[in-house]
Every structure is written in structure tokens, then in C-alpha cells.
Chain A
């Protein structure tokens, strides 16, 4: 049986206590859902001397929306909590769509949003959506509270710009604009999620007088970190939203990324799939923005 090596164990009851423990204990790691941390411990990739279990901190799982004032999702909210939240479904159906393709149901019941982002996986299914929804990451550490943008959080594969004693407490997402449509499309080897994304594409389109008022395109599994496709966004903003513009945008997205070839698929295939999925995601977003589809 695969067993975990010995570690010191802490169950802080408050954020303050968690920060203190992370600061005082050498080699301490925060534990959220555990679906990634425990795997890496079992594989011997990491050897935490201490685990600081964040699950006993009150309100860290909370999802709340104040009318006209944005939505806050606690870092410990599980991916299933997000998938099943009526608040998120009403305000940000994009996150429901993305949550639905993270791992399998039994993983989604454990895994948390904070963990999905804090892990800084290039293949994170939640990151592209949070990026284009302009989410802000709320953190707390020995120097106090801080807000970090989704475009500033990732330093490289598996690393963030947060310090070791700092952790994510929540995500803040501003109010969505009217006439906005979004989509997250993931290419995996199995349909409906369950495995790691070969390519993930999130798009957001706010339509004003048949032109793009605001746009967002972000991609996963195409570089060392999830990324915004800024050149493609410029193309999308540059004129009327006809079919040729969507196609040109998709080509621009495929052109501005630097994917690698690995055991999952080749760089050329990833590039081609970014083009295909960006186009499809834009069509879906446009239909939703024009009211043809819910969300």
C-alpha cells in the first residue's frame, strides 16, 4: 500500500494561526483538498515536514455574491461546490463549465479552487476562466493581506509568485457585463473531462452594437503557465464580429503560443487545436452573448 511518510500535523482554526504555523514550522505545506499534494508526497517528489490543514478555518469555503458588488469564492470551496453553486451558475456560468471538466467527480469533491490555482499547473482547467473574468486573488501572509491579479500569480510550471508562508484565502470576481457570452472548451483524450487537458481555451465576448465591447481569451496546456492570448484579443477587438474575424482571431491565438511536444501530444497538434477550439469557443460565446444560448 502506498503510504505517506511521517509529518507534523496542524489544524489551525484561523487564517492568522495558519500563517503563524506556516512561518514557524520549517518545511510546512498548506493542505487544502490534497488531490495534488498527497500524490506528490506518495511519489516522493516532495517531503513536507509539516502539513497545515486549512479545512478547519471558518468561512474559507464560502461562496457569496453581493448584488452589484462582485462574487467571492473561498479558496477551500471544492470544484464540486463551484459546479453546483446557484450563485456561480447565475453570475459566472463559465466557471461551472470549467469545473465540470476538472478530473472525475470523486476528485472534484475533494479538490479546491485555491489548490487548483496555487498548484500553478500549466494544464489548470480553472485558470483560463478566472483570467478572463478578471479575477483577483486574495492572499494572506506574515506581511498581511494582499491582492494579486490572475496575470501576476504564475512564475512558471508549478511555481507561483506567492511566498512560502503566504496562501490564497479567496478569489474575487467583478460583476459580469450584460450581453456577455463565455465558453471553456477542453481537449482531452477522453470526453467530458477526467484527464489532463491537451489544450484548454476560455473565451469571453461582450457584444455592443455587433462589435466586441470587451473580450478575453486565455489558454492552458500551451506553455509553462496558463496565458492570455493578447494578440488574438486585439484582433477580435479590431472590427465587426463576422465569421472571418473569429477565424483570424483563432489563427492569431495559435500563432502567439509556444507549446511543447510531450508524451501527450506534439506542439504542432496543440497549435492546430488551439486554432480549432478558439474558433469554436468564440462561436459559443457569441451565441450566448446574443441570447441564443444560456450563459
Chain B
């Protein structure tokens, strides 16, 4: 099947099998390795990307269902080499430990702040509730998001 989709602002068109998940498409077809596979079953959230601005578990979505939609991965946040403010906040606050959950944390935060630029701490926690960080750096992750919100 032909999949036409916009990934990080660029239109791509690829022949794919229907059984390919969006996660496999991003990592193996487009070689965008910023999106991670943790459990592959929707529990850990490390595969979260934005589809039309909303966070989804890319391991539980068929790539074909992204047809005609806008997909944003962690690779799509920086502009001309300049990191996104949330990315900068993560670096400044030391919110990245092993880094495996970081793309999903940052994208979940981006989706929240796009809707609610002045989100309260409780709302930040809710927005991140689908992503597990096994280093346990939640506190610094929340501080990083607090530091860049309006």
C-alpha cells in the first residue's frame, strides 16, 4: 500500500505493508531513531509521537492510519539547528539521564503546552502520565517543563 504522510513538515510517500506500525515506519523506513521502542505494547510510552499535534503510542498505531496526517517526532522540534525551548529546558535542568524516555517526555510536554501554555504542575504530571522514566528523573523533568512554560 502507498502511505502518504507529512513527517516533521516534509511530505513522504512510501510503499508499506499494512502490518507496519507507525513506530516501525519511523525507525526502519525513515531511519528516524529518536522515537524509541520500550515495551512495544502501549505500557511504557517511549514510542510517543505527535499525530496532528496529539500524543499517541506509535507502537499501537498502524502506519497506514497516519495517511494524510501530520506526524511530529523529536527530530522535528529543532529549527535550523536551534533546539526547541523544551529541549533547552531539559538540558538546563539536567532532566536527561539515560535519555530513553526523553523524546516521549518532550513531545508530551509540547502537546500540553501548545494547548495550555500555563499548565499547573498537576496538569504536567497528568500529561506525562503515559511515559515511564526508569531512571526516576521525574522531578527534574517536571522542573524543566515548569521552567519553560508561560
Do A106 and B57 have beta carbons less than 8 Å apart? yes
Chain A nearest CB, measured from B115 CB (Å):
10
Chain B nearest CB, measured from A54 CB (Å):
11
CA–CA, A105 to B56, complex, Å? 8
Could you say which residues of chain B place their CB within 8 Å of the CB of A193? 129
Could you say which residues of chain B place their CB within 8 Å of the CB of A53? 62, 64-65
Do B21 and A39 have beta carbons less than 8 Å apart? no
Could you say which residues of chain B place their CB within 8 Å of the CB of A7? 18-19
Do B130 and A2 have beta carbons less than 8 Å apart? no
Do B130 and A194 have beta carbons less than 8 Å apart? yes
Most B CB contacts (10 A, CB to CB) among A2, A6, A105 go to: A105
Chain A nearest CB, measured from B56 CB (Å):
5
CA–CA, A110 to B55, complex, Å? 9
Could you say which residues of chain B place their CB within 8 Å of the CB of A6? 17, 19
Do A39 and B129 have beta carbons less than 8 Å apart? no
Could you say which residues of chain A place their CB within 8 Å of the CB of B18? 7, 9, 51
CA–CA, A92 to B54, complex, Å? 24
Which of these, A5, A80, A103, contacts B130 with CB under 8 Å?
A103
Is B1 positioned at the interface, with any CB of A under 8 Å from its CB?
Answer: yes
Known: A4-B19, A7-B18. A106 touches B64 (CB 8 A): no
**Per-residue contact bits, chain B 55-82, to A (CB 8 Å; 1 contact, 0 not):** 1110111101100000000000000000
Which of these, B21, B37, B108, contacts A4 with CB under 8 Å?
B21
Known: A9-B1, A103-B130, A105-B108. A55 touches B57 (CB 8 A): no
**Per-residue contact bits, chain A 1-30, to B (CB 8 Å; 1 contact, 0 not):** 111111101000000000000000000000
Do B57 and A35 have beta carbons less than 8 Å apart? yes
Could you say which residues of chain A place their CB within 8 Å of the CB of B42? 35, 38-39, 107
CA–CA, A103 to B61, complex, Å? 16
Is B45 positioned at the interface, with any CB of A under 8 Å from its CB?
Answer: yes
Could you say which residues of chain A place their CB within 8 Å of the CB of B85? none
Do B21 and A38 have beta carbons less than 8 Å apart? yes
Most B CB contacts (10 A, CB to CB) among A5, A31, A109 go to: A109
Can you name the residue of chain B whose Cβ is closest to the Cβ of A37?
A: B60
Do A42 and B129 have beta carbons less than 8 Å apart? no
**Per-residue contact bits, chain B 26-64, to A (CB 8 Å; 1 contact, 0 not):** 011000000001001110010010010011110111101
Do B64 and A9 have beta carbons less than 8 Å apart? yes
Interface size range on A against B: 20 to 34
Could you say which residues of chain B place their CB within 8 Å of the CB of A43? 41
Is A190 positioned at the interface, with any CB of B under 8 Å from its CB?
Answer: yes
Can you name the residue of chain B whose Cβ is closest to the Cβ of A100?
A: B126
Is A192 positioned at the interface, with any CB of B under 8 Å from its CB?
Answer: yes
Could you say which residues of chain B place their CB within 8 Å of the CB of A192? 125-126, 129
CA–CA, A38 to B17, complex, Å? 15
**Per-residue contact bits, chain A 31-60, to B (CB 8 Å; 1 contact, 0 not):** 100110011001100000001010100000
Could you say which residues of chain B place their CB within 8 Å of the CB of A109? 51, 54-56
Q: Please list 20 pairs of residues, one from A and one from B, whose beta carbons are closer than 8 Å in the complex, sorted by A's number.
A: A1-B23, A1-B28, A2-B41, A3-B24, A34-B60, A35-B60, A38-B42, A38-B59, A38-B62, A39-B41, A39-B60, A42-B41, A104-B129, A104-B130, A105-B55, A106-B48, A106-B130, A107-B130, A109-B51, A194-B129
Which B residues are within 8 Å of any A CB, using their own CB?
1, 17-21, 23-24, 27-28, 37, 40-42, 45, 48, 51, 54-57, 59-62, 64-65, 108, 111, 125-127, 129-131
Which A residues are within 8 Å of any B CB, using their own CB?
1-7, 9, 31, 34-35, 38-39, 42-43, 51, 53, 55, 80, 103-107, 109-110, 190, 192-194
